[in-house]
Amino acid sequence: MEPYELTVAGAAEAVRARRLSPVELVESVLDRIEQVQPRLGAYVSVTADRARRSARRAAEEIAAGGATGPLHGIPAGLKDLIDVAGTATSASSRVRVDHRARADSTVAARLSAAGAVFVGKTHTHEFAYGLTTPQTANAWDRSRVAGGSSGGSAVAVAARAATFALGTDTGGSIRVPASLNGVVGLKPTYGLVPRHGVTSLSWSLDHVGPITRTVEDAALVLASLVGHDPRDPASVAPPPGDYRPGPGTDLTGLRVGVPGNYYFDHVHPDVEAAVRGAIARLEALGARLVDVEIPMTRYIRATQWGLMVPEASAYHERTLRAVPDLYSADVRVLLEAGELVTAGDYLRAQRARTLVRRAWLDMMDMDAVDVIAAPTVPMTAVDAGQTAVTWGDGTVESVSDAYVRLSAPANVTGVPSLTVPVGLDPQGLPIGMQLMGRPFGEAAVLRAGHAYERTGTARDLVPAA
């Protein structure tokens, strides 16, 4: 096994035992980036010199006193919305061509303090405003979309061109590309991970979280990110607890909600079969399945768009007027449309979000469930350039609407949501299962995802080199 193939936990153990130095690990990942970048386009920029300096420093620190934690010397990619002092945060847009960050974002500072090594900035759909990330190819099939908007981060992790990466998630932008590329993606509870220094799409829906190859890795990265930061008005102090799941697979006592509506509507049969098979596996591991009815589903999409569109337009108000031609056409039209949303419509969306969240939490309380299990997205990765999907009943849906439909509820409600790979479709494309918990219930979703993962049902899914 090459060093770049190691998971975070595996690399951390090798570094801690001094069987592998951070310098060797980082060089292996940089070589892998050089190998796959020309055909996948996961990175906007690769900071090889900076990464080598950081690796040498980590090696010296470990030689002097041992590894300080599981991320010490571990290579990471950061979505190109996340500020790192002295480097560009382009948001994959010509609007930011001359940008340089003056200070680290909170998450970058916390990863640096944990000893992580930044190898580069990963592509995003421009300003995170899309679900396909057209600059980047799917790690499993280059003719397919990577998913978005954290497509670069998911592809880098799937292709073993980063040991882990960070993404952002406003309507599914961590979970959608993670699912389409066969890796793990975690959107934490709203406010759990600070967003200071991260370019916003929609401040009332934005989240930052890890994309990794295993659930254990997601827990390790999350632990280094959480903590209150007063510079983010939504930031909260985490409740006490350990995110790292235990070694076993016994899910006795865990109550898993299985939706009878919404989440299995207009879902490809291959996706439904794989996810229902994974849910049955959770039951075999000891979980108790509970039928649940998702409330207020007719309002979810309107609420998500009613919040995101005007907030994005407000954020871009000055540059949209100053340099409108520098935006790509698909993003510009959304930003201009957002300026037509009235204050009354926006306030109604905020009010609807409050009602949807309350109804969602009431449902979880009434049915006494810890986790809800469902498909992450209704279909696997579509061909690049495909704009719509036609369902069996003749319903036509845009690709973006289809990909966001099942992931948006966790953004509207703010609950934690984890996607884990559960197999491949007949075309060899990954399928993901989404596990959603109660607010600050990351431990439960990580426990369920880790237990499923350890059964080997979909472990070690690796795209062709």
Stretch 295-315: mean pLDDT, rounded? 97
The Cα 86–Cα 293 span in angstroms is: 49
Beta bridge pairs of residue 372: 257, 436
In a domain, 237, yes or no: yes
CA triple 337-339-343, angle to 5 deg: 120
Q: Is the pLDDT of residue 379 over 70?
A: yes
- At 156, list the tokens: 């880098």
- Strands 430-437 and 371-375 come out as antiparallel
The Cα 394–Cα 145 span in angstroms is: 23
Residue 393 pLDDT class (50, 70, 90 cuts): very high
The Cα 436–Cα 410 span in angstroms is: 7
Q: Is 428 helix (H, G, I), strand (E, B) or coil?
A: coil
In a domain, 177, yes or no: yes
CATH code at position 42? 3.90.1300.10
With contact defined as beta carbons under 8 Å apart, do 81 and 203 qualify? no
pLDDT of residue 115: 98
Q: What is the pLDDT of residues 126-152, one digit of tens each?
A: 999 999 999 999 999 999 999 999 999
In order, the DSSP letters of 14-77 are: HHHTTSS-HHHHHHHHHHHHHHHHHHH--EEEE-HHHHHHHHHHHHHHHHHH--SSTTTT-EEE
In degrees rounded to 5, what are phi and psi of residue 130? 175, 165
Q: Is the pLDDT of residue 465 over 70?
A: no
The Cα 138–Cα 117 span in angstroms is: 25
Closest CA to 375 of 117, 180, 130: 180
For all residues of the chain together, what is the average pLDDT? Answer: 96
**Which structural domain range is residue 131 located in?**
3-454
Contacts of 104 (CB under 8 A, 6+ apart): 83, 84, 85, 112, 197
With contact defined as beta carbons under 8 Å apart, do 185 and 175 qualify? yes
Stretch 154-171: mean pLDDT, rounded? 98
For the chain, state the CA radius of gyration: 21
Instruction: Give the start-end residues of each E strand in 107-158.
Output: 117-122
The Cα 50–Cα 46 span in angstroms is: 9
Domains in the chain: how many in total? 1
- At 108, list the tokens: 């970058």
- Cα distances from 322 to residues 313, 327, 425, in angstroms, run 13, 11, 46
In the DSSP assignment, the letter for residue 195 is: -
- Strands 43-46 and 117-122 come out as antiparallel
In a domain, 462, yes or no: no
Does the pTM exceed 0.85? yes
pLDDT of residue 247: 84
Q: What is the pLDDT of residues 270-288, one digit of tens each?
A: 999 999 999 999 999 999 9
In a domain, 302, yes or no: yes
Q: Is the pLDDT of residue 459 over 70?
A: no
Which residue has tokens 């900076």?
50
Burial class (CB in 10 A: 0-12, 13-18, 19+), 44: buried
Which residue has tokens 């996948």?
40
Q: What is the pLDDT of residues 27-85, one digit of tens each?
A: 999 999 999 999 999 999 999 999 999 999 999 999 999 889 999 999 999 999 999 99
In a domain, 121, yes or no: yes
pLDDT of residue 456: 79
In a domain, 460, yes or no: no
Beta bridge pairs of residue 164: 76
In degrees rounded to 5, what are phi and psi of residue 222? -55, -40
Sign of torsion over alpha carbons 173, 354, 291, 264: negative
With contact defined as beta carbons under 8 Å apart, do 66 and 150 qualify? no
The Cα 249–Cα 287 span in angstroms is: 10
Closest CA to 308 of 408, 407, 376, 235: 408
In the DSSP assignment, the letter for residue 193 is: S
In degrees rounded to 5, what are phi and psi of residue 142? -65, -15
The Cα 38–Cα 182 span in angstroms is: 21
In a domain, 12, yes or no: yes
In a domain, 185, yes or no: yes
End-to-end CA distance of the chain: 13
Question: Catalytic residue numbers?
Answer: 79, 149, 173
Closest CA to 299 of 359, 340, 217, 213: 359
- At 93, list the tokens: 């847009």
Give the Cβ contact number of residue 12 at 10 Å.
23
Question: Quick one: how far is CA 240 from the chain centroid?
Answer: 23
